[in-house]
A and B are shown apart, each in its own frame.
Chain A
Amino acid sequence: MGAHSFSGKVAIVGAFDTPVGTIVGKTPMELCVEAGLGALADAGLRAGQVDGLVTCNAMAQPLLYHAEAMAEYLQIFPRYCMAVGAGGGTTFSIIHHAASAIITGMADIVLVSMADSLRSGLSRDQALLVQSSTGHPEFEQPFGPTVPAYYALIARAHMAQYGTTAEQLAQVAVSGRAHAARNPAAQMRDPITVADVLASRMIADPLHLLDCSLVSDGGSAIVLTSAEVARDLAQPPVYLLGAGEGHRHEHISQAHSLTTSAAREAGERAYGMAGLGPQDMDFAQLYDCFTPTVLVELEDLGFCAKGEGGAFLESGATLPGGALPVNTHGGLLSHCHPGNPGSMFALTETVWQLRHAAGARQVRDASLALVHAQGGIMSSHTALILGREAG
């Protein structure tokens, strides 16, 4: 099967995050370059050795040819070069495309670098555009749905169908913050309680302010190469063992289910390629733009049964030291969320965890992880399985 061809044959060999939060005085391109060079230095590689470059556009600095602009900035001349745009799902879907490029010989060393400045770089008009650009322009946007409102529709449906509570949703935010408290790089580190989440301002019922992710500046990058090349580089390789995508809709009003997402197919395909299952994962990074996404993803990725996400969260399983630590860096809810690059930080964190270099927040004996991202409104999903060993 072609789908099995890159399992264990491609590895992440470099990872780097810029500072995150409010980063004044740097453009998104400057952050993107800083992240990219940092990841290359981590791998022990020079920019001139990069022959594949993948970026995503920046809302605060939109460019027609973003990846080409970054290559020009660094004066590197890749043979595989593209800026991708699939919202929050961008980061992970491109990893398996890049892996395929390495396997087929289209590139040997691929730098994936992404940055944006949603916190300090957006004009009022740009911010409004970001807010309203999601949604069908003719049949959804006129009703005034905000981004939190779309996810509130998912939360409300799950509550009605499975009896999930606002307290259980809040546990996602509490868990993310508990991880962030152990991460000096996180934007928000003060521990919070379920009561704090429920007492925060209502944004779109049932979602409170603390059910919503951060707005951040920041950049993050990884370097991908073949397992053979990886053996001679500076860091222990982190192998890509499985990858899968699932796509069910663009607009939430067209979703066939509000409570089951294409994370299910993405996960099944990734587990299938890796020959592993959810029970094998030592931790997971799940896309957490709003608390209900983690609830649905825990179920769809097989970590608990459909409808039992609330109880799973309530059990404390996702907390530091729990049965399945989730978003060990603090996630989009507490570490940072600069938009499309957001899940890059979950990927770099996974690399550090699997190198056993995550310091105070190290998941003990971590050897396998699932990382997941979604774009749109639970529309496009990608799951990756990463490991310390090639298989």
Chain B
Amino acid sequence: MSKILPRPTPLSQPYWDGCREGILRLQQCLDCTRCQFYPRAVCSHCHSARLEWRAACGRGVLASYTVVERGISAAYPAPYVVALIDLAEGPRMMSSVIGADPADLRVGAPVELGFAEWSDEIQMPVFHLIEDARGELS
């Protein structure tokens, strides 16, 4: 039993290439300037096909989360966190929060991007809770 690995498409390959380089790439529309996630052939706001990749800053907040206690398979040892992250650039994405005590999670908490190596090809974008200067969770 192995993890469910994403299968990049020609359209999404730059996104996964970016993850391998430690960069989270979003598509930005050259016409309406908005960013989108997941990658598409056209802008989901104005349907322009003039899109370019830009690096996200890697900051976001927890829009919601759950601690999964009954995992989807043996490849996903419970408990683990499934989260929705609102990126600073606007789009929302599903991800995980790792390295945190589940009791410290809360909606609205600031998070920061990291990567987890899942295979030679795939680095998964994951998030960490951001600690403040006192070393406490903000």
Contacts and interface: CB of A to CB of B under 8 A. Distances in A.
- Please say whether chains A and B are actual partners in one complex: yes
Interface of A: 128, 131-132, 136-146, 148-149, 152-154, 156-157, 160-161, 201-207, 252-254, 258
Interface of B: 3-9, 12, 37-38, 63-73, 75-76, 80, 82, 84, 92-96, 102, 106-108, 118, 124
A138 B70 contact: no
Given A143-B82, A205-B69, A252-B84, A138 B124 contact: no
Most buried by A among B9, B37, B69: B69
B69 A138 contact: no
A254 B96 CA distance: 16
Contacts of B80: 144
B4 A157 contact: no
Given A138-B8, A138-B12, A152 B66 contact: yes
Contacts of A143: 82, 94-96, 124
Which 9 A/B pairs are nearest by Cβ-Cβ distance? A152-B66, A160-B107, A144-B76, A205-B67, A157-B64, A253-B94, A153-B64, A138-B6, A202-B69
A133 to B, nearest CB: 11
A45 to B, nearest CB: 45
B64 A156 contact: yes
Contact of B94 (A131, A139, A156, A202): A139
A142 B4 CA distance: 5
Contacts of B102: 205
B25 to A, nearest CB: 13
B39 to A, nearest CB: 9
Nearest to B44: A254
A139 B38 contact: yes
A160 B64 contact: yes
B66 A156 contact: yes
A131 B6 contact: no
B93 to A, nearest CB: 6
Given A138-B7, A153-B65, A160-B106, 7 more contacts: A132-B72, A142-B6, A144-B96, A160-B107, A201-B70, A204-B70, A258-B84
A149 B82 CA distance: 7
Contact of A146 (B70, B93, B94): B70
Contacts of A161: 107
A88 B37 CA distance: 27
A218 B82 CA distance: 32
Contacts of A152: 66, 68, 82
Contact of A142 (B92, B108, B124): B124
